[in-house]
Amino acid sequence: MLRKSPFKHHRFPRDVILCAVRWYLRYPLSYQDVVDLLAERGIDIDRSTVFRWVQKFGPEITKRTEKQLCHASVDWHADETYIRVGRKGRYLWRAVDANGQMVDFRLTARRDAKAAKAFLNKAIERVRLHRPVTIVTDQAQAYRRVIREINYRYDPHFDSIRHIDRKWRNNLIESDHAALKRLLGYRQSFRSLRTAKATLSGIETIRTIKRGHIHHKQAGVQGEILFISQLFEAA
C-alpha cells in the first residue's frame, strides 16, 4: 500500500520543493537566499513558503532515510553545544560514532544529569540492537553518573558501556559541532523549539547523506539529489 503523497495540494512540483529544501539544509543559506536562487530560474515564491517546506519536508526526509542508514559503530563520542532558540540559550546534545556518523541529537533547556540521561537513553533506544561499547565525553560529572546508571540497568554486575572522560579524546565531536555551526551561519537563532528541532533534523540528515553514511547512494552531489528523489518515488 502506497503512503499518502506529502506533495498533495502543493502548487509547486515535487522537484522544485525538494530542491529548495535541500539547498537550505545543505548550504549556509537564508530563506531569502533560496528565494533568490529560485528566482534566477524563473520560479517565484516567498520566504514563508520556503520556511513551511523546510518545516514539513526536513523531518520527512529524516523519517524516510531512517531505514537506509548504515549501522553506527559501537564507539561513540557525546557532547553538548550551545545555540539560541527564541532569544534564549538552549543546549544541543549530539552523539557521533568513531566514523563521524550522527547517532542522535536532542535539544534541551538545561544542561544537567536529567537532560544527559534523557539524551543517552534516546540515542541507545534509537540504535536498539547495537548499544555502544565505549562513550567518550568531556569531564562533566553528569555523564559519569548517567552511564553508571545505564550500565546498572542492563547488568548490575558488569559495565557493558565503558566511559572515557578525556577531553582531548573528544576532538572528533567538537570539530563536528564547529562544522555544524559554520553551516548554520547566522541561522543559529531559531524561532521556537519546534522549528529548531525540525530544521536540525533535516540538516543532520542531509549531512549524513552527504557523508555517505547510508546505503545505495552514488557519489557526489548528483548522488545526493538522486537519493533524496528516490525517497519520494512511491509518492
Residue-level pLDDT at 129? 63
What kind and span of H or E run contains 81?
strand 75-85
Rounded to 10 degrees, what is the CA torsion of 206, 118, 97, 20?
0
> What are the φ and ψ backbone dihedral angles of 40, each rounded to 5 degrees?
-60, -25
- Chain segment 173-224, per-residue pLDDT in tens: 999 999 988 888 766 678 888 999 999 999 999 999 999 898 877 888 999 9
CA-to-CA separations, 21 to 62, 160, 192, in angstroms, rounded: 12, 41, 19
Q: Which domains does the chain have, with CATH numbers?
A: 14-69+214-231 (no CATH), 75-183 (3.30.420.10)
Least confident of 38-47, 69-78, 159-168: 159-168
pLDDT of residue 105 exceeding 90, the answer is yes
Give residue-wise pLDDT tens across range 82-102.
Answer: 888 888 889 999 999 998 999
pLDDT tens digit sequence for 13-41: 999 999 999 999 999 999 999 999 999 99
> How confident is the model at residue 1, as a pLDDT?
44
pLDDT recorded at residue 4: 74
* Helix, strand or coil, per DSSP, at residue 10: coil
